[in-house]
Chains A and B, each alone.
Chain A
Amino acid sequence: MHEPPATTAAEATSREAIPEESLPLTVIAPQSGWDVLNLRELWRYRELFFFLAWRDVKIRYKQTVLGLAWAVAQPLATMAVFTLFLGKAAGVTAGIDHYPLFVFAGMVAWAFFSNTVTAAANSIVANERLVTKIYFPRIIMPMSTVGVGFFDLLIASALLVVLAASFGVYPGWTALSLPFIVVLLGLAASGVGTLLAALIVSQRDFKYVLGFGVQLWMFATPCVYMSSEALGPTARTWLPLNPAYGLVAAFRDAMLGRPLDGYSLAVSALAGGLLAVAGVYYFRRVERTFADTI
């Protein structure tokens, strides 16, 4: 009996060989203990860092009608609230010339810090599909969230300069330290966020800790809404251990042409650096189990 032919796909024919000498060798094996930062690998994936940051910025401005306005809405609204309710309170505003400007400048830096912490902390669970399907150094995920925050910071800073000028306040030579301060702020924020991101993967409870923790943290960073003169000397000694404290204050002072407080900046920078190192180390240690535990 004749039958219609059954379909068969073309057989693979001749093969060209790829020279094997130059091929990189990857070894997959269980690792134990504290593995050092694999910097060379991170460097290979640097483009991904920028792509993810760029993606977040893009999406932010595509999904929202107000777009750019959101970058300044948070500090502006907080400025209004603090000015209305705290601006008249005795003690709080001691030694501050333009309270609204003072609060706005502090909020711009604080918003950068807190939004980065939040975004970095949620980044791994928010990108669960990526984490469970594709390999890349996971640390890029929380780190790249600095991008959106930085973008907002730029826009808000532009508004801040305009606002300050309208009060007759101009940045002075201390503004030269701004890049340095912003980098430190970003490092501290993504360090804390990275630590939280790793914790949230294994235990979602940390999501809620994050929610009110960030709010509490703002009140623990009084430089946002009150002058350091209003705080006692003890507070001035210990508060810089909170990295946001010294860095937010330094950002504002540099933006508004005031002298920097060297002590609080140095202590906060150190605390921020240590937090970042601890966060990144913990993250790198547990990141290879993310796909299993997420």
Chain B
Amino acid sequence: MPYTLPQLRLLILLAFTLLVGLGVREWRAGFPDAAERFERFDREDAVSPLVPDADAAPAGAAPRQAPGRPTPPPPAAPAVPGRVTPPAPATPVPVPAAPPPPAEPLDVNRADATELARLPGVGAGLAQRIVEERERRGRFDSPEALRYVLGMGPKKLAAIRRFITVRD
């Protein structure tokens, strides 16, 4: 035995740390949105990383797979459809693509929760909060006023900005 026991323990610990690092790197490369959500979970405009479905893809588009799940870092990740790294997978990759362009912009002062939930990145929960905030305020004076809704961050608002409007 060339090493003492403490030395051996240190080696094992170091190797294990590096292994975990490898796993995390693979996972972050495979599920960049999920990793981003974990990173930003405590920010004001955060989307819960644990409840990916609350803000699922717009109705009509294929639901996104796994990305939001808190998957344990897989040393060798299985080829789930959500994985982006392998080039040209057999099935088309359902990326969070742009939704079908709506016929005309949605009036956030008139739309109901179901209509609002069709906006990209807006789930049933957020749509409900938009409606509640609208009831509390009477109306939204501008599309930017949606920022006052909990969960409506600058990025999300920018993403839906061209699909919404405020009419008098």
Query: Do A and B come from the same complex?
Result: no
